[in-house]
Amino acid sequence: MSERTLRGRAVIAGVGETPYYKHGKAPDDEFKLALIAVLEACRDAGIDPREVDGFASYGGDRSEATRLAAALGIRELRFSNMHWGGGGGGVCAAVGNAAAAVHSGMADCVIAFRSLAQGQFRRYGRGAAAETVSGEDAFLAPYGLMSPAQRFAMKITRFMAEHGIRHEALRAIALASYHHAQNNPRAVMRGRPLDAATYDASRWIVEPFHRLYDCCMENDGAAAVLVVPAERAHDLAQKPAYLLGAAQGGHYRSAAPVHNAPLYASSHFTTVAHNLYAMAKLGPADLDVVQAYENFTGGVLMSLVEHGLVRPEEANDFLVPENLLAPTGRMPLNTSGGNLAECYMHGLEMVIEGVRQLRGTACNQVPGASTVLVIGGPMVTPVSSLILGTEAAL
C-alpha cells in the first residue's frame, strides 16, 4: 500500500493579491476583491481561470465558491470547501484541503483564498450588539469578555507566568514584523517604523500582554493561491512551491467551553505540529524561514514553542530582534511584515510570502531558502500549519 501523505503531491503554482488597504478603505466590494485575487493567482501561474475546478476557504468567507464559479465562467466545479473555525486558524488547512483535493483526484486545479472587506462588514475588535447572548458567550459577554484580544489574553497571561517569559520577547516579534514591512511596497505599515520605545509606550488593549502593537490590524483585500497536482510542476510559469506537510485540528478538548481546555496555556498546536513534522519528514531545525500568524504576539510565542522552534526557558534570550530579521537572523520571522504590518489577510498573505521566499523573489529574501513553515492563527480551534519547500527539499 502506498504511503498516505500529501508530501510532494501538490504544488502552489500561482499566487495573487489585491492591493492591501487599511480597514474600510478598499475601493471595491469584497466579492470583487476575491475575483481580482483569484484572477491574479491564475495569471501568475499561467493557467486559464476557466480551468479552476475548486475553491477552498476558511473563517466563514463570504465569497462563496458557487458564486465565484458562476462569475468566472468556471467550466465545472468539482470541489468546494469551507473549513470550520473563525479568524485565520484555518488558513493552512485551506491550502491543505486544496492539496488533498487535487491529490485525491477530486479536482485538478483548486484555489485557496481569503477575501475581507471589514469596512463593508462588521469589525472583529468589537463585541456583538445583541441584547442577549447564548451558548458559551452567555458565560463570557456579560462579564465584558467579547473580543478576540480578550478571548486569548488569559491563555497568554498564564503561559507567560508559568514560564517566566518577559514582555520583551513579545516586543521582538512585533519589531520584526514592522522591520520587514518597511521594505515591502505592499505593506500597509510601510513608512511607519516601530521602535522599542514606541512599543513600550503604546496604550494597553488588554493588560498584561496586549499592547496596541501586539495586536493585528484589521484590513481590506483578498489573496489567493492556486494548487495543482505535483505532476504539473514542470509545466508551470513559476517555480513551484511543493507542499511538504499540512496538518490541522487541536489537542484533547482544546475547544472545551468557557476556557476549560485541560491544556489551557497553549496555542493548540501541540498535536498539530507533531503531525505536520511527521508528514513533512522534517523537524524544526530544517526550516529556513518561519511565517507565524500574529493575531496577538503572545499567540506567536506559544505557536513557536509548540512547533519546537524555541524552548520556553530560552524564549527570553532567543526572541530578540536580531534573531528574527532577514536575511541574517537565526530564525527569520514574518518576512513580509505579517498580520501586524503587511496586512491582516487572515494569514493567506503569509502563505504567499512563503511561496515568494521559495521562489527567491521576497522583499526580505532569506538567501537560498528551501523550506518555509507557515503557522495559521494560534489559540483558536481548529488551528493549522503548513510546510512548503522547493523541489530540492523533496
Q: CA 19, CA 356: separation in Å to the nearest integer?
A: 16
CA distance 264 to 379: 9
Exposed / middle / buried, residue 131 (Cβ in 10 Å: 0-12, 13-18, 19+): exposed
Q: What are the beta bridge partners of residue 113?
A: 224
If binding is defined by CB under 8 A, does position 164 make contact with other proteins? no
Is 344 an active-site residue?
A: yes
For residue 236 the three cell numbers come to: 508551470
Least distance CB 177 / other proteins (angstroms):
20
Residue 224: what residue type? A
Please give the grid coordinates belonging to residue 219: 484590513
Half-sphere exposure of 314 (CA within 13 A, CB side): 8
List the catalytic residue out of 20, 124, 213, 293: 293
Q: Which of 264, 275, 308, 327 binds other proteins (CB under 8 A)?
A: 264
Least gap, CB of 317 to other proteins (angstroms)? 24
Q: Which of 75, 192, 196, 260 binds other proteins (CB under 8 A)?
A: 260
Q: Which residue has the cell 502563505?
A: 351
Closest distance between other proteins and the C-beta of residue 23, in Å?
15
Supply the minimum distance, in Å, between the C-beta of residue 161 and other proteins: 5
Shortest Å, Cβ 123 to other proteins = 10
Whether the CB-CB separation of 95 and 227 falls below 8 Å is answered with: yes
Tell me, by CB under 8 A, how many residues bind other proteins.
44
283 binds other proteins (CB under 8 A): no
Out of 19, 119, 127, 327, which residue is the one contacting other proteins (CB under 8 A)?
127
- What is the H or E stretch that residue 353 is in? helix 348-359
Residue 293 annotated to the active site? yes
**Near other proteins by CB under 8 A, which window of 77-85, 132-140, 227-235, 269-277?**
132-140
Residue whose CB is less far from other proteins, 84 or 139:
139
For 249, counting Cβ atoms within 10 Å of its Cβ (0-12 exposed, 13-18 middle, 19+ buried), the class is middle
User: Does 119 interact with other proteins (rule: CB under 8 A)?
Assistant: no
Q: How far is the CB of 205 from other proteins (least distance, A)?
A: 5
Report how far apart, in Å, the C-alpha atoms of 16 and of each of 12, 165, 375 are: 11, 38, 20
Peptide bond into 382 cis (omega under 30): yes
Is residue 361 involved in binding other proteins (CB under 8 A)?
A: no
Task: Pick one of 77, 82, 106, 265: the residue that binds other proteins (CB under 8 A).
Answer: 265
Q: Is 165 in the site for other proteins (CB under 8 A)?
A: no
Q: Which of residues 135-154 bind other proteins (CB under 8 A)?
A: 135-147, 149-150, 153-154
Where does residue 248 rank: exposed (0-12), middle (13-18), buried (19+ CB within 10 A)? buried
Using rule CB under 8 A, residue 259 touches other proteins: yes
Using CA atoms, how far apart are residues 230 and 232, in angstroms rounded to an integer? 5
Longest dimension (CA), the chain: 59
Cβ nearer to other proteins, comparing 146 with 278: 146
Instruction: Decide if residue 218 touches other proteins (CB under 8 A).
Output: no
Active site residues: 293, 344
Which residues are near other proteins by CB under 8 A? 125-128, 130-147, 149-150, 153-155, 157-158, 161, 203-208, 253, 256-260, 264-265
